[in-house]
Structure 1
């Protein structure tokens, strides 16, 4: 077969495993040794009960008729990133502020773009979350 000794041994091993698996499946199906032949009779009767089919109809989702006035707001076209203050194109070098807008290098600081984000409250919440209050009982209960 034009194989090296290692590949030939692997092929022989795989063939032996396949034969072993096939014989074990035959023994499980037939309930005995694979050499004895099948135990099941050649003619078997299969009783099939008839099952009533029930048709289940799913209603499609309601679609608004064209006569009804439905306010559909189209999504704004995503354009290039621009500074929220001076509208200068910033591209990949823009700075995202905590207020949710993007700014250029000149307007990146909160005092330069009239930022509405409350830094003090955010810092207080972060400190309170990082350092929970732990109180021990003053007197041991007897």
Structure 2
């Protein structure tokens, strides 16, 4: 480091340091604001193109939520407390059981196939007699 302080490269007359890219504190702060504004503009450009796609997907989700807000058996509003059955419909608390809404899903065979997938048969190696 030299003994003489350097002046700002913008020519404002204030002293600068190499840590601030040879700018004074005032010019360096304005430089940082300009850099962050440029960066935010590029992010906004990317975000606007991404939000167009996301909004179309959200519209599909909103339609699905409106469809599920009522019980399929009694047409009662269920809101967040709706129970979704394996048959794909949403039911209130009184119609949530498969016997209550005459569900066509076969729970027994679905459970058997799920258990056979999760627990494969393990056979021991044959023992040879000596």
TM-score bin, normalised by smaller chain: 0.3 to 0.5
* Structure exhibiting the larger radius of gyration computed from Cα positions: 1
TM-score, structure 2 normalization: 0.48
Structure that is richer in helix per residue: 2
TM-score, structure 1 normalization: 0.44
